[in-house]
Amino acid sequence: MAHDRPNALQYIAYSYGRRLPPSMNRWVAEDLAGQGAVRRHVIRMAIPPLLVLGPLWLIPASFYVHLEMTAPIYVWAVLMAVALNKVWRRHRLGQHGLDPNLVDVIKRKRDAHIHEDYARRFGERPEEAKWQQNSSPF
């Protein structure tokens, strides 16, 4: 029986790096490249630092000491999740055998009118400029 959505255990494992079966590729593509993908990614990456830093709040100390111990690490972890979200989502799409360029689909749809206007004014872009359509840093 083919499932199109992961169950709770599969979802947790998938959220932190496990590969889902090919029958769920459509769901994976929507999850990693659809509306709200960046938000879902940042939330998923914000949970593990909470679990690691949470026990530090059990140490007897003032609120400010707890904040000084945990806030810089947590803020840094969330900033890294935001900064590397596209790289990580590309990797996850490739891991599932999907096209890594799907992460740019929403941006391409949003900016389609700009590209159409450019093509109308100046003609189609030359073939040697195709590599610039990809936002991959690699």
**100, 90 in Cβ contact below 8 A?**
yes
What CA–CA distances, in Å, run from 106 to 109, 110, 138? 5, 6, 20
- Domain residue spans of the chain: 8-133
**How far apart are alpha carbons 21 and 7 in whole angstroms?**
12
Report, as an integer, the average pLDDT of 19-33: 93
pLDDT of 116 higher than 80: yes
Which residues are within 8 A (CB) of 35 and not within 5 positions of it... i.e. 6 or more apart?
106
Which SS3 state, helix, strand or coil, does residue 100 take? helix
pLDDT of 1 higher than 50: no
Q: How confident is the model at residue 76 (pLDDT cuts 50, 70, 90)?
A: very high
Residue showing tokens 């599969």: 10
Report, as an integer, the average pLDDT of 59-87: 96
pTM of the model: 0.77
